[in-house]
Amino acid sequence: MLRRKLQSTPWKLHLSADVWSAPNHKAFLGICVKFVDPDTKEALQALLALSELPGLDGPGSHGGAEQWKLLQHVLEDYNIWNKVGFYTGDNHGSNDKLCRLLANYLQEKGVDWEAKTRRIRCHGHIVNLAVQAFLFIDSKEAARAALEHIEDTDESAFGTDFSERIKPQRAQGWRRLGPLGKVHNISIHMRENDYRWNEFKKRAGRSLGLDNDTRWNSWFLLLDTTLNLQSYVEWYQKKYYQDLRDDYLTPDEWSALGETRAFLQPFWKITQLTEGRYATLDRSLFTMDVLHKHYTQAFQKHSGNVTLRSCVAASWAVFDKYYQLTDESPAYGAAIILHPSRRVAHIKKNWPKSWHKPVLDGVRKHWKDYYHELPLPTTTPQLRDEIRRLDEYVLK
């Protein structure tokens, strides 16, 4: 049934892939497809394969050539190689290599597929990198250097990108990370003893939780919970002062934690709004416009705070790079223009005038090259409630 639908649809098939590591240290490549059902005209998605990465490029390698072999097999097995539209993956160099190999493969078959314009960057990975830069990188120069390493490396290790840079600091003690490091140590102190953990949980109604390397949101949740339970954490600090005197949070540090949460809050909300099966491409660029405004306000708000402004600048260096790279693919602009509540008006209202013509020309060219001769659909899928949730983010 799925093969028939994929092979018979007159529209392009849009692929996405990501590497997942299992607890038993095996790595798998998940390959998904988004397409329009030729019968119902409804937008659907499906998992095409979850294949183990064999490590052809070296022991434990997750390189682009290795991933391409699995993707090539799927395209030929489903006989859909001639229908590939856009490809979505994270920002590691492995996906650049995969897209180049895909372009070469299709060119040999007489199919024009330009790697740069057909590559969509995983929005969650962009947000993840930007927030990790804020948390773990101390300057925009260091952030740019770390980005170059990520993009030049033919590996895929989602989530651990910038957190790897704090490992030397860990060896010298978590508190060298500042207030966040102290919060980590306080949480560890609770977890090291069943009595202390249960004592705090009984008093506060819950535990603090704990951060991890692979997702920035674990840090945000730890921070958010700590601030929500500040009075209980302060009680705990006082009771166990002898153990925690080097990790004691001062009033200024509590204030810094509050400012950190305020800066990260929009990233947390946008992560929730742009993940899941109903997330659409227009949300990516729209929420990046929202974050662009958020950065502008943050620079103004923290102009007198050298430390926090440096963190914001490091995060901005990462975000702005990928914000600018959206110009390489006409899909982003098309998604905004074709959205019934955005249209060209969103671009004219919120973007500098110098940006208007390039994106509009790119969308027109893409439409003429690939969609102008296609039949028009006779039915329109119903809008889902999830799509409307983004309306709470209105650019003013």
Beta-strand ranges (E) seen in 84-241 are: 84-89, 119-121
Tokens of 13: 């098939």
> 293 vs 68, 103, 177, 299, 345, CA distance in Å?
38, 36, 28, 10, 17
Q: pLDDT tens digits for the chain (396 residues)?
A: 899 999 999 889 999 999 887 777 788 999 999 999 988 889 999 999 999 887 544 544 578 888 999 999 999 999 999 999 999 999 888 899 999 999 999 999 999 999 999 999 999 999 999 998 898 887 777 777 777 766 666 554 444 455 555 455 543 455 567 898 899 999 999 999 999 999 999 999 999 998 876 677 888 999 999 999 999 999 999 999 999 999 999 999 999 999 999 999 999 999 999 988 788 899 999 999 999 999 999 999 999 999 899 999 999 999 999 999 999 999 999 999 999 999 999 999 999 999 999 999 999 999 998 877 766 655 555 544 444 444 444 444
Say if CB 149 and CB 205 are below 8 A apart: no
User: Can you list the domains of the chain with their CATH numbers?
Assistant: 2-121 (3.30.420), 277-392 (no CATH)
Given the DSSP bridges, would you call strands 119-121 and 13-21 parallel, antiparallel or unpaired?
unpaired
pTM of the model: 0.84
Per-residue confidence (pLDDT) for residue 386, from 0 to 100: 44
How high is the pLDDT of residue 387? 42
**CA–CA gap between residue 119 and residue 15 (Å, rounded):** 10
